[in-house]
Structure 1
């Protein structure tokens, strides 16, 4: 690998791209007005089983929105269906280093199986490689949740390996699968 100068300011790029669109989706900043819709899925055991602790009240959801999405909003998007403006989940593009970013997501289970998450991740993948000029895009999922890995595969990411006992979720130490895509793979 050759040495590469990185002149992109990732925070400016993310600020300039805080609203994105796909054929069916609108990706936009999460607000407190999304609390009821987020609570609907964040309080569902099946939806959040492999991601984060279940929300126990709308107040809990509002606190999470404020502390995670509002405190540092860049690269964090609410997913809204264009056809009816319904908030169905979230997707993040987190800068790990100047040359590496990570995608993460949560989707209301009522909308699983419609290709919404791969569609949302595709636009973030394009943003990451074409505007943020990263060399590597990565994502991890709980090894017990292969459906999340299918999203990663659908956007062209490759399974790299098992990160044994790498995460703590709900008091349990769990294995994660790591997926990635390099700039060279993206350009092919």
Structure 2
């Protein structure tokens, strides 16, 4: 029998430019300012607009219990100087060793590769620390930029769920991407080999020349109502009293 994987300690993850850490209530005003933009609400599942006072505090206050219940890992995306720019997380089903990934960053930070960089760190955590076999994500079909982020992560387009989501009075198609454990490690090995060859030839790494992404959001599926990394509750389930932002679509 396989040993059951448990998320026992909330991680802090670091990358070249980012720190991914737990949210605190002090982050609420910043979350409201970033997630309150119409453009963020438009590309996510349940982030409300207008984004009212108290919503961010309510969302953040659910994180500890959601993590303890093994439902959601929510992390703030911060620059190395501490400035919060977005959110990312995993919504796992550990009994099946799979998890859904979701993320969003504020409009001012689109186009700098932050979503890709943050998601790479979270995927590594999921496969290495949690022993996941599969990570997947979704986006609205009219938000192809989110799909390009997933493609940069090595995720494969797996299909389209037609008219799967009701968003602002319209039925929307949803695109699914996924990556398996062996695919992730094969890609990681190839990337390390490529980086080593480039370093040898050029005397420097590719770290300063990362691909840029639009930084837009992907969203969590509607399979349950646990608080999502990106800020939210799923569209098909029961929303909290103030309807939290869901991210990524």
1:24 and 1:41 map into 2 onto residues whose CA distance is: 19
1:27-71 CA-partner distances (Å, limit 9, x unpaired): 01111111111111211001221212224323222223224x344
- Aligned counterpart, 1:46: 39
Kindly tell me the number of residue pairs found equivalent between the two proteins: 179
Alpha-carbon distance, 1:78 to partner: 0.5
Aligned partner of residue 110 in structure 1, secondary structure: helix
Q: 2:75 aligns with which of 74, 77, 80?
A: 77
TM-score (norm 2): 0.67
Aligned partner of residue 127 in structure 2, secondary structure: helix
2:75 and 2:174 map into 1 onto residues whose CA distance is: 23
- Aligned counterpart, 2:235: none
- Aligned counterpart, 1:23: 16
1:102-148 CA-partner distances (Å, limit 9, x unpaired): 10011101000101110000011111111211111100011111111
Q: Summarize the Cα distance change of 1:104–1:46 in structure 2 as closer, same or farther, 3 Å threshold.
A: same
Alpha-carbon distance, 1:8 to partner: 4.4
2:152 and 2:105 map into 1 onto residues whose CA distance is: 16
Q: Greater Rg, structure 1 or structure 2?
A: 2
Aligned partner of residue 88 in structure 1, secondary structure: strand
Decide which moves more: 23-32 or 90-99: 90-99
The answer to whether the aligner puts 1:131 opposite 2:125 as a matched pair is no
Q: Summarize the Cα distance change of 1:175–1:116 in structure 2 as closer, same or farther, 3 Å threshold.
A: same
TM-score (norm 1): 0.87
Aligned pairs for 1:1-150 within 5 A: 5-12=1-8, 15=9, 17-51=10-44, 52-67=47-62, 69-73=63-67, 74-82=72-80, 84-98=81-95, 99-150=97-148
1:93 and 1:61 map into 2 onto residues whose CA distance is: 19
Q: Summarize the Cα distance change of 1:33–1:173 in structure 2 as closer, same or farther, 3 Å threshold.
A: same
Q: 1:177 aligns with which of 175, 178, 189?
A: 175
1:162 and 1:114 map into 2 onto residues whose CA distance is: 27
Gaps of at least 5 residues in structure 1 are none
Gaps of at least 5 residues in structure 2 are 187-249
Instruction: Tell whether the 8 Å contact from 2:5 to 2:131 is kept in structure 1 after alignment.
Output: no
Decide which moves more: 168-177 or 95-104: 168-177
Aligned partner of residue 95 in structure 1, secondary structure: strand
Instruction: Tell whether the 8 Å contact from 1:26 to 1:80 is kept in structure 2 after alignment.
Output: yes
